[in-house]
Amino acid sequence: MRQLSVAAYAYIGCAVLAAVGCAVPAALPSASTPWPTVGLLAVLYAACERMRSCPLSRALARGARSGGAPGHAEGMPPRWGCPVLLAGVFLLPPAAAALAVLPGALLSRTEERAATARRVWHAAELALAARAAAEVFGAGGSRAVLAPEFPYALLPAAAATTVFCAVLAALDGGVLIAAERHPPRTAWRGLLLRSLAPHLVHGLAGLMMAVLWRSSYGPPAALLVLLPMYISCWVFAQYHRERAAHQATIRALVQAVDLKDRYTRGHSERVGRASVMIARELGMAEDRLDVIRFAGILHDVGKLGVPTRLLRKDGPLTPEERRVIELHPEYGHEIVRGIGFLGEARAAILHHHERMDGTGYPYGLRGREIPESARVVAVADAFDAMTSTRSYRRARPVAAAVTELRRSAGAQLDPRMVRALVAALARHGWQPEVVTAGTEGPAVPPPRPALHRHPAPEAGPVPGTAALPGTATAPHPGPAGGER
Amino acid sequence: MSADGPGDPLAVPYRTGTPRAVVLVHAAAGALACLALGHTLWRGLSDPGIALAFGALIAVGELARGGSAPPARGGAGTLPGDRESAPLGVAGALAYALLGEVGGRATSHGVLQAVAVVVAAGLVGLVPHVALGRGPALDHIARRVLTVGFAATCFQPLYTTGRLAAWIGNGSYYICYLLGLLALTALCDAVLAAALARARTGWPYGPLLRDELRSLLGIGSAICATGLVIALATAVAGLWALPVFCLPLLLTQLSFRRYAAVRATYRQTIASLARATEIAGYTPQGHARRVAVLSRAVGRELGLGEADLSVLEYAALMHDIGQLSLVDPVTGGATAGLPPAEQRRIALLGGAVVRRTGVPAEVAMIVERQADPFRDQPLPARIVRTVNAYDDLAGGDGGPGGTLRALERLRLSTAQDFEPRVVEALARVLARPFGAL
């Protein structure tokens, strides 16, 4: 919520009025509201909301913390107190269920910007959802919470939880349009589907709380249900934090390459992006896309093994030096060999300089012998090398690069991958200057003399591309010069 | 970090042979299990339906157990779930031990049947794991048999004779009694687990027990609460409560596994990053790994807890990263021989790289300060500095002569560079047989 618009105020105002209308009947003298239960649940929910980052979890998280996890704040994901809300829905009359939500939601922690508006909105939508869910549950037979009829409570409880979730999703979509100016067509996309499964699980926990609450053991037994839920949410948050830290480490591997070879800055990230575009165009599965992205990002990681003096050398390379540089795919494979989840990305790193006609390195594989992932990365690498600015020449326009790629398809690159990239470019375009967060560092690479370090391609099968870094088109002797 | 692919690159081999404490625990658990099974076979199952339901629950929990053998202690284990790889199984076992009635009707399984069901279900759940070639994790089973026996002994006789109800009724006090009993059980289990780990590894007992107790706060409390809730809910609502409440717990278990998996790949990535300096020829083969393993052992010797140890391990793995920004490799990768100002510059460069990796900021701090005089350093940095210098001096494989000479050199520099306490801890660690690191 940036500067809240009039529409947003109007929308939130309407929701607040409706919520007040939902909750007020509980306070009327005629209503037989079970005040102790309402009070206890309200306090409980408020405690849950305040405890998003509790000292216990912080103590546990020591040593497992990440510095580079943008977007994922410390502590719980929001609304881990959801089972309490749903227990209220199952235990209380509808209006009282709406009332019990309010204190917790109004006291909750939230982002700095427009905090009051956020809290009020949060309280209003939860009250509305709770009221609706409680009405549904009441219609389905609220007495079923009593123990002997327990199995019959499952269906109404599931229905009530679904309604709760649906009302929240509908209202959330509305506020996205009113306050965040999302287009109406996309505002609701995926909102319900994403949240339904977690809500149903929380619904089961809430039902268990309600059953225990009404049993002879009383509310203390119900409280115990919250502990496993809390731990579960905590683990979930930890998982996301750890994953972000892991991705930061992958980036760090790439940045370590940048330390040595400064002028290919951003190249790895862009190759990763282009590789994913190709793979998606080929219809690869989502988890394979991830692996391909890592293959693109890490394809040059083996340059860590090449002496820095060689990588930064100005002027032509001797055949001996070229051979050393040509070792980088093998070094890269050696470095990432221990990382289990990379899977076929490891093959891509080893073989991204193979050529379709069998004159590439390190093994001189040809055609379909080259792993598919390596063929994808090779095309992406060649494309980015042509379209990005290097110290010794300017970037080419995308159209020129595409022509060049088409020309080298067959002998050097896999035509299928080239076609896929061209199709993807036609559909999505290309923003070469996008640099993902975290690649900042020494902002300007040291100026290098604009030397042509890439020997002209005598009799190269694809004349023209040999001078382009990243394409490695020059035939033996001397493909390494093309690599840089 | 050698050629064994995606396995835990830093696992430490166990001491060979079985220490007496382990034999003792196993024998006690085995005797109890045999007694329970024999008694149950002789008398027949009472309430077979209930026994079957809980047995199935425990077996499923055991089946859903993660792949790694439980006592994965060589590695960084701040994850509270490292300790318990089958929380659902444990919770089910505790619930069966504390089950007094089902749907309002009193149960009649006694202590021995509770133990027998837990043992039988545990064995059934084990079959696939053994078939896949993973170890049967006998320590865990022994511990579980003993804890379940303890909890059932403290609960079943009192409950079935009605004395518990006469003393404290059936309300909140009852819950308090159960909570207290569970806390006691968990405490005993932690003591037992630490004793087993101590006997197996020879590490000091205090930090091991502290780690066990800390893990008790996390997943341990959740397991106990879940076991209790299952017992209570089954008492109120009948066996229906089992599937309803086990679904959330199963999800917890799955997210624990995902967490453990992503943590493992994270460690692999850090280890790969650390290896980059070796492949680049800046440091000798295996240097980072040796320094990490030795640093961990020295840190443990000095009484650091699991969380600090994992920070120390990451720092030790990446301590040479700064050399990547050198244009020419240092001879032999041994920074110990460089002038102090140069050492400090490399350390700062390394810290800058480490800060981007998403590891805790303490790690980067340790890497940055590794070249300072020890009085300005935090303890982990002193350890890394000492162990790094030792590895440089001993020249990798060491050998008895190299080890002694290197230690002697370190001792001569304890005025400014290396802390005497750390050097002595290192000497003690090195004096042990290899497996005890």
DSSP per residue, B273-332: HHHHHHHTTSS-TTHHHHHHHHHHHHHHHTT--HHHHHHHHHHHHTTTGGGGG-SSPPGG
Average pLDDT, chain A: 77
Residues A356 and A366: beta-carbon distance below 8 Å: yes
Put simply, the answer to whether A205 touches B248 (Cβ < 8 Å) is: yes
* CB contact set of A276 (below 8 Å; sequence gap of 6+): A289, A292, A293, A296
The per-residue pLDDT for A79 is: 63
Flag whether residue B262 sits within 8 Å of chain A, measured between CB atoms.
Answer: yes
Q: How far is CA A320 from CA A71, A481, B278, in A?
A: 48, 12, 21
Q: What torsion, rounded to 10 degrees, do the Cα atoms A280, A283, A285, A291 define?
A: -40
Task: Say if the Cβ atoms of B251 and A67 lie within 8 Å.
Answer: no
Kindly state the average pLDDT of the residues B129-134.
76
Give the pair of three-digit tokens for residue B355.
């800060």
Interface membership of B266 toward A (CB under 8 Å): yes
How far the first Cα of chain A sits from its last, in Å, is: 46
pLDDT given at position A262: 66
User: Lowest-pLDDT range, A142-146, A174-178, B262-266?
Assistant: A142-146
The model's pTM is 0.69
CA–CA separation, A438 and A272 (whole Å): 15
- Residue A476: band (very low, low, confident or very high) from pLDDT cuts 50, 70, 90: very low
Please state which of the ranges A112-126, A284-298, B4-18, B103-117 shows the lowest mean pLDDT: B4-18
In the predicted structure, residue A475 carries a pLDDT above the cut 50:
no
Task: Give chain A positions within 8 Å (CB) of B307.
Answer: 62-64
Looking at beta carbons, which residues of chain B come within 8 Å of A69? 358
Residue in chain A closest to B231 (alpha carbons) equals: A221
pLDDT digits (tens, 9 = 90+) for B173-196: 888 889 999 999 999 989 998 888
Over residues A272-316, the pLDDT tens digits come to 999 999 999 998 888 899 899 999 988 988 888 888 788 877 778
Angstroms from A244 CA to nearest CA on chain B:
8
Which among B435, B346, B354 is positioned nearest to B385, based on CA atoms? Answer: B346
CA-based nearest residue in chain B for residue A200: B248
- CA separation (Å) from A276 to A286, A385, A419, B260? 10, 16, 14, 27
Nearest CA distance, B1 vs chain A (angstrom) = 7
pLDDT score of B1? 35
Q: Domains in chain A, start-ordered, CATH in brackets? A: 6-53+73-243 (no CATH), 261-483 (1.10.3210.10)
Q: Which of residues 386-425 of B touch A (CB under 8 A)?
A: none
- Give dist(CA A329, CA A347) in Å, integer: 10
Helices (H), B98-240: 111-131, 138-160, 163-168, 172-201, 205-215, 221-237
Q: Residue B70 pLDDT > 50, yes or no? A: no
When pLDDT is cut at 50, 70 and 90, the band that residue A127 belongs to is very high
pLDDT at site A419: 93
Nearest one of A93, A83, A49 to A206, comparing CA atoms: A83
Stretch 163-182 of chain B: residues touching chain A, C-beta under 8 Å = 170-172, 174-176
Cα(A453)–Cα(A43) distance, integer angstroms: 72
**pLDDT value of position A403:** 92
Q: How many C-alpha atoms does A282 have within 13 Å on its Cβ side?
A: 23
Which tokens is B194 given? 């630490």
